[in-house]
Amino acid sequence: MAGGGDAHGGSGKAIAAAFFANLGIAIAKFAGFLITGSSALLAESVHSVADASNQGLLVLGGRRARRQPTPLHPFGYGRARYFWAFVVAVVLFTLGGVFSLYEGYHKVSDPHELTSPVVAFAILGLAIVFEAFALRTAVKHAQPLREGRSWWRYIRTSRSPELPVLLLEDTGALVGLVFATVGIALALVTGDPVWDGVGTLAIGALLLVIAVVVAIEMKSSLIGEAADAETIERITAELESSPRVRSVIHLITQHLGPDDLLVAAKVDFGPSLTTDLLAQEIDACEARIRAAVPIARVVYIEPDLRRTDAAAPATG
């Protein structure tokens, strides 16, 4: 995911809201399955259990990421948030998607009449209200961080894994509830309970799609991504703002976590600076970068001279 870091405090509140909503909804859905025998309600109850588990994993990732650096991990544990978000995709795939597909196939191949459909609709309606509240909370905390981007662009370019994952989960939960409602409604209207199984299959397919999207995004973050173009331009501008800097020869960045950025630059200070002045200028450059980009916590600056092709030493 490209883009700037997100406020972890805001995502923490959104995670808590989603966790309690999904926990209560899971209990209600499972009770509804026991009463009605609807496979769509069973799939949705497993979906909610998976979502609640995922929120627990996101909290775990946040706590692991706050551990202090060690000799084995000198840059800290910031990427733990990406790892546990990747595990979220695995949970969605195994616990949610695959189970829903299995239940849907079972219901389509061996359909059974629904009992007490009114209970099913009441539970689904209540679940929609709670899921809408959870999604509204996630949207509220993500809105200031979008910075004019579309929601899909924000999910693809955000550095913080928590809010994008919550947005995908909560949106998927609402769509899944619609699939379950439509499936049960068609089963009642047509008198064919196979539609309940079709709704369950749709829920499973939806969960698999969300799991794949989350896995792809977290894979890129785990491998390591550079800062966004705006941040790189800001760092370059801070380096070149000094009259003692002739040019920035090379600049690379990498996110060590959503709120930790590694910056390494090769800078042409010119040949006239003494060792003391060069050291002072490097310290000043580092201070300006950290002031302009607070997440740039690890900064390395290497002095060098820009060489033209004609002046470059021969190799071979």
Domain locations in the chain? 8-223, 229-304
Mean pLDDT of 255-275: 92
Say how many residues make up the chain: 316
> What is the average pLDDT across 72-98?
86
Contacts of 158 (CB under 8 A, 6+ apart): 1, 3, 4, 6, 145, 164
The top-scoring range by mean pLDDT among 20-24, 75-79, 192-196, 286-290 is: 286-290
pLDDT at 314 over 80: no
* Average pLDDT of the chain, as a whole number: 86
- Domain 229-304 listed as CATH 3.30.70.1350: yes
Q: What is the mean pLDDT of residues 302-307?
A: 88
Count of CB atoms situated within 10 Å of the CB of 296: 21
Q: What is the DSSP letter of 68?
A: P
Do the Cβ atoms of 198 and 106 come closer than 8 Å?
A: no
Six token digits for residue 2: 């490209």
The percent of residues above 90 in pLDDT, for the chain, comes to 34
Query: Tens digits of per-residue pLDDT, 140-172?
Result: 888 888 888 899 988 888 888 888 888 998 898
For residue range 176-227, list pLDDT tens digits in order: 889 999 999 999 999 898 998 999 899 889 989 998 998 888 898 899 899 9
Per-residue confidence (pLDDT) for residue 6, from 0 to 100:
47
Q: What is the mean pLDDT of residues 27-45?
A: 85
What fold characterizes domain 8-223?
Alpha-lytic protease prodomain-like (1.20.1510)
Burial code (b: 16+ CB inside 10 Å, e: under 16) for 101-125 equals bebbeebbeebeebeebebbbebbe
Query: How many CA atoms lie within 13 Å of 288's alpha carbon, on the beta-carbon side?
Result: 16
pLDDT-derived band at 38, boundaries 50, 70, 90? confident
Average pLDDT estimate for 103-123: 85
117, HSE (Cβ side, Cα atoms, 13 Å): 16
Q: What do you get for the CA distance between the two ends of the chain, in Å?
A: 40
185 or 316, which is more confident: 185
CA–CA distance, 29 with 131 (Å, rounded to integer): 13
